[in-house]
Structure formats: structure tokens, C-alpha cells
């Protein structure tokens, strides 16, 4: 079975087969992919379209609103915007990005490449939202450079804990035991990264949601 990137044609065929109530096992054979690959793609598509776990989505949007009312940002960078950014019509200046070229965002780049480009262009934002499907770890350093007032991070790597996997968090967060694998330590490590950029992160809101993942809303301050 191929592990190559999904093409638009494959995604279109996947959607067509799903709409015709074709079994996932049959879809996997049609696309020459494993059932696991098909299941993961279906899940990811639902996440991007905002159709998954409506209770979580409502809680997330309520937390977003509370934070925006507090921070009052004029400019926002939505790094993983999906098909429609939550911040549309809510701030004066919104820049959106998603690697999926089907989405009409300002950029369609890998998140790290985007942040590198914006850093070179000397562009900063009041608020940066890192809400990936997975981990934002490799993007936190640059995000804290470019964020003037606020930073939001969704810690998707917490999903690894139920599989007792430490390889990723050991590499990025220096977390080497399951007992240490928690949101508090991820927050502390993020604060240390920010200090490298002479920024101090203050937690405004932190909560756990669907599948044991965490989302943290930070206030960004200049280090004195």
C-alpha cells in the first residue's frame, strides 16, 4: 500500500465513495491504500471541515471569544485555518494559511515555511493561533518571535500518550516518562522557548478537550 501524499483526485473519489455508502474496506482497495490510511484521512477531513465533535467545537469557540474579548487583537495569523477561519470578520487584519490548496486562504504553505517567510518579511501579529491536527512544536519558536500580544497553541501530541509513545515529546519537549507527559510540562517547555525570544508567556486559559488534547491561550509579554 502506498504512503504517498493524498492527491485531490483521490480525495474527490474518497468523498464520492463515502457519499455512496461504500464500505471503508472497499474504498481502501479502490484507492490502493490501507484501511488505517483511509480512516485517518476521513478523520482529518472531518477535522478540517469542522464537522467533528460538535461539543468540543462549541467549547473551543466559547473559549476563543472569551480570549478575544480580553486580548482585543487587531491582527491575527491563523496558521492552520482550514476551509474557513474562526477569525473572519472578527479582527481588522486577518492572514490565513492552510497547506490544503483547495482552501482559499492567503497562503497555502507548510506552517514552518510560512513562519520563516513572515519572519524574513519582518511581519508581526497581535495574535497567532497554532491549531494543527497533530503537533505545533516545530513552529512555537518562530511563533513566539512574531506574536506581539497573544499566542494560542493546541497540543495535539497529547494524543500520543494513550499509545504510550514518548519518541516525539522526548525529542521536542525533553519529556521522557509517561508521568511527565502532561499539559503542565508542555506549557512550561513552551514558556522556556518564548524566553529565548525575550518573551514571557502568561496562561490566560488552558483546557483539555476531545481525545485528551489540550489548548492553551497565552498572553505574550516582553521580557523586562
Q: Name the β-bridge partners of 199.
A: 222
State the chain's mean pLDDT as an integer.
88
Q: Is 80 exposed, middle or buried (0-12, 13-18, 19+ CB in 10 A)?
A: buried
**pLDDT for residue 42 is more than 50:** yes
Model confidence at 53, pLDDT cuts 50, 70, 90, reads low
Architecture of domain 54-222: 3-Layer(aba) Sandwich (3.40)
Model confidence at 57, pLDDT cuts 50, 70, 90, reads confident
Percent of the chain exceeding pLDDT 90 equals 57
User: Which run of H or of E encompasses 8?
Assistant: helix 8-19
Region 21-43: mean pLDDT is 82
Write the pLDDT tens digit of every residue in 73-129: 999 999 999 888 999 999 999 999 998 888 899 999 999 999 999 999 999 999 999
Model confidence at 170, pLDDT cuts 50, 70, 90, reads very high
Q: Tell me the residue ranges of DSSP E strands in the chain.
A: 75-78, 93-96, 125-130, 147-155, 199-209, 213-222
Hey, what long-range contacts does 132-135 have (CB within 8 A, 24 or more apart)?
Answer: 132/79, 132/80, 132/156, 133/44, 133/47, 133/48, 133/80, 135/168, 135/172
**pLDDT for residue 3 is more than 90:** no
User: d(Cα 215, Cα 198) in Å, to the nearest integer?
Assistant: 23
Q: Grid cell 479582527 — which residue?
A: 91
Sheet (strand 125-130) strand order: 93-96, 75-78, 125-130, 147-155, 213-222, 199-209
User: d(Cα 5, Cα 44) in Å, to the nearest integer?
Assistant: 13
pTM of the model: 0.77
85, three cell numbers: 477561519
CB under 8 Å to 49, separation ≥6 — which residues? 82, 83
**DSSP label of 156:** G
User: d(Cα 63, Cα 55) in Å, to the nearest integer?
Assistant: 12
169, three cell numbers: 515529546
Q: Could you write out the three-class secondary structure of 180-213?
A: CCCHHHHHHHHHHHHHHCCEEEEEEEEEEEHHHE
Q: Name the β-bridge partners of 162.
A: none
Q: What confidence score (pLDDT) does residue 46 get?
A: 61
Q: What confidence score (pLDDT) does residue 86 get?
A: 92
**DSSP label of 176:** -
Least trusted range by pLDDT, from 5-9, 62-66, 147-151, 168-172 = 5-9
70, three cell numbers: 480580553
Amino acid at each position: 500500500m502506498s504512503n504517498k501524499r493524498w492527491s485531490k483526485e483521490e480525495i474527490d473519489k474518497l468523498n464520492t465513495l463515502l457519499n455512496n455508502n461504500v464500505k471503508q474496506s472497499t474504498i481502501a482497495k479502490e484507492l490502493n491504500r490501507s484501511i488505517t490510511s483511509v480512516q485517518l484521512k476521513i478523520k482529518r477531513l472531518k477535522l478540517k471541515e469542522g464537522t467533528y465533535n460538535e461539543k468540543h467545537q462549541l467549547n473551543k469557540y466559547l473559549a476563543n471569544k472569551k480570549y478575544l474579548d480580553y486580548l482585543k487583537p487587531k491582527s491575527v495569523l491563523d496558521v492552520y485555518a482550514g476551509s474557513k477561519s474562526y477569525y473572519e470578520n472578527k479582527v481588522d487584519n486577518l492572514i490565513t494559511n492552510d497547506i490544503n490548496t483547495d482552501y482559499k486562504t492567503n497562503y497555502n504553505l507548510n506552517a514552518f515555511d510560512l513562519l520563516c517567510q513572515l519572519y524574513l518579511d519582518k511581519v508581526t501579529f497581535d495574535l497567532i493561533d497554532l491549531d494543527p491536527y497533530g503537533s505545533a512544536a516545530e513552529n512555537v519558536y518562530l511563533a513566539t518571535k512574531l506574536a506581539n500580544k497573544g499566542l494560542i497553541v493546541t497540543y495535539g501530541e497529547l494524543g500520543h500518550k494513550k499509545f504510550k509513545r514518548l519518541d516525539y515529546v522526548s525529542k521536542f519537549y525533553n519529556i521522557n516518562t509517561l508521568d511527565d507527559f502532561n499539559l503542565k510540562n508542555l506549557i512550561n517547555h513552551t514558556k522556556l522557548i518564548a524566553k529565548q525570544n525575550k518573551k514571557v508567556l502568561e496562561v490566560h486559559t488552558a483546557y483539555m478537550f476531545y481525545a485528551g488534547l489540550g489548548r492553551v491561550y497565552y498572553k505574550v509579554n516582553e521580557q523586562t
